[in-house]
Amino acid sequence: MKVSQLLVAAALLASANAGAWKVYNDDSYTLTGCNAAMLKSATFCGGGIKTFACACKNQPAMASVMQCLADRTDKDQEVLKEWFVYQCAAVNKTVTVEELDASYENASDYWVDLDHKPAGYNKSAISYRPVKNGNMTKYFTGYIVSYRKRYGTVDRSHYQGMSLLSAWALLLLIATLSNWFTRMSPATLKSMNNSLTRKARQYLGLAPTFRKHHVQSVGFFGYIPTRFESVVILVNFLFLLFCNTIGYSYDQRDLVFTSKMGGISRYIGDNSAVLLSYMTPLVFLFPGRNNFLQWCTGWSYGRFVAFHKWLARLYMCEIIIHSGAMAVTSQAVGKWATRLAVFWYRWGIVASVAGGLMIIGAGYTARRISYEVFLLIHFVLGGIFLAGAWIHCLDQEYEQYYYAAAAVWCFDTLIRFARIAVFGVRTSKVELIANETLKVTVPRPAFWKPYPGAHGFVHFVTPLTFWQSHPFTLVESTVHDQNIHFYIKIKNGITKKLASRIQKSGKGFTNIHVSVEGPYGERNHYEHYNKAVLLAGGNGIPGPFSHAMMLGTRDVEKTEVKLYWSIREYYSLNWFFDELMKLKGTNVQPVIYVSNAQSSLEGVNFDSSSQSSSSSDNEKTDSQEDLKDTSTSQLQKLKETFGFIEFRTGRIDIEKVISEEVAEANGSVAIGVCGHPAMADQARVAVAHAIGENKNRIDYFEEMQTW
């Protein structure tokens, strides 16, 4: 386990232990019921004290509560006295069992029997004698039914919250065992390949939720989770729905909530508060880049982000339920104005608003317009939410869940900064190649080890861009010079800015200070299979290439390696020229699809390993004759240079390639894909189909992520 992940795990465990769940039970309700009945029957303490403190410091009040306990319950009196001591300690008053007994005994000569009130008795005037009887039974009943309902709901909510966390823990445990089992004993896993497991993997494990979309975005909704992820989210949703709606009833005798509306809304408000408290650490843990669960389960960061998004949406629903229900209760018990005036309630409102803005601002459209701005705002609002919720909950004794969330978040952020500091700021060479790709070459520290499929978040340290960090797959240099490379497709944000900076320089490259946060991502273990089929589209080649190199240059040649790369034009060979040449003489069988059947070889630069000229910059030949000659010689060069690569023209048919490769395989097959989202989605569906059709173990590794 990486040290960074271990630290986050430790932070989570430590924080989870920071606060103990306060257990309410019927003994405590009995005690507080008697206390409330005493407070309602007479006045003992000045200043209108309505808490337990009065019974702890005022002898007649203490004796009245003791009398109530003795009269109205057959519970073990010694246990009730222990609760009495505990409740006094909770309001910073020290009382012993002996003092309670003494107070009760001393009271025997002074009782005021409220069934036979002395003449001139005034309930509102301070009483210096203990009281008994009167409406005590009615009051006690009215309060105890109220406490039983209310705190019974709180108790139940804790069990529900614990069940929810346990279910997640179980799921993560199963995923962890399966991940490590696969790594340590791939043969056993392959043998667990019967028709039942194949069907489960075909229809649940791998399939997209609906027809074929997963990494392709779908309109307003953005990315659709896989079917497995959707089932997990759906079960979570149904469970919360069940908790929020089932098991509420109102007792007409209730003296705390004298209306049904006030009572039921309070129970729902408490239930949602407890449930969302239990969800808080998960919502904050899942999106962390250093989330240790990635290492345990082998699940991608993209999957954890998908769970984070959906859990956060459900979390927001709980916040809305909680806020709405508490507003109704506050109105019903006449406390709306007083609550609005107190600090903790106001901070609750601030947190709710921040949470709502986070959900709205995290919509797919906003992320698409400017991911980095979304991220910055999300971070700031997240901080406001956490602070607001923490302050709100301090008063309610639920703060420990927010300790856990804050600890996880702070550690993740700290580790991210540490990773950047450790890598340092280095001078990179950014080349614009074939007018379509930026090749970034960065010298890495010796101890900083890249691995196949890893990605790093790159900070381009310029005054306008240093605050952004973009994820790119990294490739170890093919010559042993401690450089890493990123191959970046030019899009509309920072990548476009860099490209135009290079174009303006007229040199084909520029030097920029960069820092890299990483490496991140779990490595997929293709070496455990008889055959690895690696499919890449365009700039998706770095990950599959690194895996192919690792497999193809191993001493033990166990795995047959097929590397497919689909590009639109021949000139795209320029930016991956050196790497392709490294495949020569290895165990890798590369196949390159050039999707434009009319693509010309003219722009391909076979002469130099430094491919920094763009296709548009290439000189054009004037006459048809020259053109023909050039084409012939270029074709000759292609054959000479890349004789070890099979070139095919036309669009790659992913389904056909997969079904053919699987059919020709002599044993288990691992299929990895990184490319255009549509390509990955086609591959997912094709592999799911192949799993159902074939007896050999087939696994799919999406070498790309979306979030």
Amino acid at 266: R
Q: Is 420 in the site for ligand FAD (CB under 6 A)?
A: no
DSSP conformational letter for 205:
I
Q: Is 545 in the site for ligand FAD (CB under 6 A)?
A: no
Place of tokens 């033990």: 556
Q: Is 367 in the site for ligand FAD (CB under 6 A)?
A: yes
Within 13 A of 172's CA, how many CA atoms are on the CB side? 18
Closest listed residue to residue 692, CA positions, set 206, 195, 211, 204: 195
| Contact residues for 527 (Cβ-Cβ < 8 A; gap 6+) | 550, 551, 554, 558, 559
Beta-strand runs (E) in 559-603: 560-567, 588-594
Task: Compare residues 388 and 542 and give the one whose CB is closer to ligand FAD.
Answer: 542
Q: How far apart are CA 456 and CA 124, in angstroms?
A: 72
Q: Is 299 in the site for ligand FAD (CB under 6 A)?
A: no
Q: Is 495 in the site for ligand FAD (CB under 6 A)?
A: yes
Q: Is 487 in the site for ligand FAD (CB under 6 A)?
A: yes
The nearest distance, CB 541 to ligand FAD, in angstroms, is: 8
SS3 content of the chain, % helix, strand, coil (to 5): 55, 15, 30
Cβ atoms < 10 Å from Cβ of 558: 13
Q: State CA 626 to chain mean position distance.
A: 59
- Compute, in degrees rounded to 10, the torsion defined by CA atoms 195, 201, 202, 205: 160
Considering only residues 250, 344, 345, 371, which one is a binding residue for ligand FAD as defined by CB under 6 A? 371
| Contact residues for 493 (Cβ-Cβ < 8 A; gap 6+) | 370, 371, 372
Stretch of 1-9, 104-112, 491-499, 639-647 lying at the interface with ligand FAD (CB under 6 A): 491-499
Closest listed residue to residue 428, CA positions, set 493, 472, 372: 472
Q: Is 492 in the site for ligand FAD (CB under 6 A)?
A: yes
Q: Is 534 in the site for ligand FAD (CB under 6 A)?
A: no
Q: Is 705 in the site for ligand FAD (CB under 6 A)?
A: yes
The nearest distance, CB 440 to ligand FAD, in angstroms, is: 10
Task: Compare residues 22 and 489 and give the one whose CB is closer to ligand FAD.
Answer: 489
The nearest distance, CB 215 to ligand FAD, in angstroms, is: 10
Q: Is 308 in the site for ligand FAD (CB under 6 A)?
A: no
The strand pair at 455-460 and 470-476 is best described as: antiparallel
Task: Compare residues 489 and 656 and give the one whose CB is closer to ligand FAD.
Answer: 489
CA-based torsion, 531, 537, 538, 541: positive or negative: negative
Amino acid at 660: E
φ/ψ (deg, to 5) at 631:
-60, -45
Task: Compare residues 392 and 676 and give the one whose CB is closer to ligand FAD.
Answer: 676
Q: How far apart are CA 527 and CA 683, in angstroms?
A: 20
Tokens matching residue 397: 């004794």
Q: Is 385 in the site for ligand FAD (CB under 6 A)?
A: no
Closest listed residue to residue 355, CA positions, set 284, 293, 268: 284
Task: Compare residues 228 and 371 and give the one whose CB is closer to ligand FAD.
Answer: 371
Task: Compare residues 22 and 491 and give the one whose CB is closer to ligand FAD.
Answer: 491
Stretch of 281-289, 365-373, 443-451, 626-634 lying at the interface with ligand FAD (CB under 6 A): 365-373
Q: Is 489 in the site for ligand FAD (CB under 6 A)?
A: yes
Q: Is 519 in the site for ligand FAD (CB under 6 A)?
A: no
Task: Compare residues 199 and 496 and give the one whose CB is closer to ligand FAD.
Answer: 496
Considering only residues 99, 372, 602, 655, which one is a binding residue for ligand FAD as defined by CB under 6 A? 372
Task: Compare residues 398 and 472 and give the one whose CB is closer to ligand FAD.
Answer: 472
Task: Compare residues 313 and 368 and give the one whose CB is closer to ligand FAD.
Answer: 368
Stretch of 167-175, 234-242, 490-498, 526-534 lying at the interface with ligand FAD (CB under 6 A): 490-498
Amino acid at 199: K
φ/ψ (deg, to 5) at 670:
-115, 130
Closest listed residue to residue 296, CA positions, set 156, 179, 383: 179
Stretch of 17-25, 67-75, 181-189, 484-492 lying at the interface with ligand FAD (CB under 6 A): 484-492
The nearest distance, CB 488 to ligand FAD, in angstroms, is: 4
Q: Is 368 in the site for ligand FAD (CB under 6 A)?
A: yes
Considering only residues 488, 499, 512, 535, which one is a binding residue for ligand FAD as defined by CB under 6 A? 488
Q: Is 493 in the site for ligand FAD (CB under 6 A)?
A: yes
Task: Compare residues 160 and 539 and give the one whose CB is closer to ligand FAD.
Answer: 539
Task: Compare residues 366 and 627 and give the one whose CB is closer to ligand FAD.
Answer: 366
Tokens matching residue 424: 């340092």
Whole-angstrom CA distances from 77 to 55, 70, 73, 235 are 17, 7, 9, 45
φ/ψ (deg, to 5) at 524:
-90, 140
Considering only residues 542, 552, 672, 675, which one is a binding residue for ligand FAD as defined by CB under 6 A? 542
Q: Is 252 in the site for ligand FAD (CB under 6 A)?
A: no
The site that binds ligand FAD (CB under 6 A) totals a number of residues, namely 21
Task: Compare residues 34 and 434 and give the one whose CB is closer to ligand FAD.
Answer: 434
**Secondary element (H or E) of residue 509:** strand 509-520
Task: Compare residues 469 and 682 and give the one whose CB is closer to ligand FAD.
Answer: 469
Task: Please list, residue by residue across 500-512, b when 16 or more beta carbons sit within 10 angstroms of its beta carbon and e when fewer do.
Answer: eebeeeeebbbeb
Q: Is 123 in the site for ligand FAD (CB under 6 A)?
A: no
Task: Compare residues 226 and 539 and give the one whose CB is closer to ligand FAD.
Answer: 539
Q: How far apart are CA 501 and CA 516, in angstroms?
A: 21
- Residues within window 463-482 making contact with ligand FAD, judged by CB under 6 A: 470-473
Whole-angstrom CA distances from 399 to 206, 274, 275, 281, 413 are 39, 11, 14, 12, 21
Q: Is 455 in the site for ligand FAD (CB under 6 A)?
A: yes
| Contact residues for 417 (Cβ-Cβ < 8 A; gap 6+) | none
Closest residue to bound ligand FAD by CB = 493
Q: Is 451 in the site for ligand FAD (CB under 6 A)?
A: no
Q: Is 450 in the site for ligand FAD (CB under 6 A)?
A: no
Which parts of this chain interact with ligand FAD (CB under 6 A)?
367-368, 371-372, 455, 470-473, 487-489, 491-496, 539, 542, 705
